[in-house]
Amino acid sequence: MPDSPRYRIFDFFEFLNSTAVLDFIRGVTGIDQIRWADAQATWYRPGHFLRAHTDDDPKRCRAVAYVMNLSPRWDRDWGGLLQFFDASDNVEQAFKPSFNTLNIFTVPQLHSVSMVSTYVTAERLAVTGWFRTDDPRETIGRSL
């Protein structure tokens, strides 16, 4: 069963933790202390949203957040936008979840995901997580 689609998230997790990707993220962000990345799959359905927050969690040593967008097609009017705010809580920038696009940003940074419109039938799928400066609890790599 290792070729099953359900294992592809593990393949992506291992890819994120490859030397090439970690070196690339360190180079782009200038954060040399990055040691690994965690990952989780997300699925926003109609009415789903994520409240404004900063991702700051000193115990988890999050340095850079990422969103790998996996929705094959997404219309800007459907919501589900990754939004960033200015000091007055106005939306300063927003990004549509475009297929095969990686959004990265340093932590802490105030952001949210706008509500997915109630009429949307498409799925807003992504893999999200953080590049971290602590050590992973276990060895990264699948053993089946």
Give the 3-state secondary structure of residue 14: helix
Element (H, E) at 118: none
Fold for the domain defined by 5-132: Jelly Rolls (2.60.120)
DSSP codes joined into one string, 33-85: T--EE--EEEEE-TT--EEEE----TTTTEEEEEEEE--S---GGG---EEEE
CA atoms within 13 A on the CB side of 139: 3
The one-digit pLDDT tens for each residue of the chain (144 residues) are 456 565 688 899 999 999 999 999 999 999 999 999 999 999 999 999 999 999 999 999 999 999 999 999 999 999 999 999 999 999 999 999 999 999 999 999 999 999 999 999 999 999 999 999 999 988 887 544
Query: Domain coordinates of the chain in residue numbers?
Result: 5-132
> Which of 101, 99, 125 has its CA nearest to residue 113?
125
The Cα-based distances of 121 to 40, 42, 44, 79, 124 in angstroms read 22, 16, 11, 12, 10
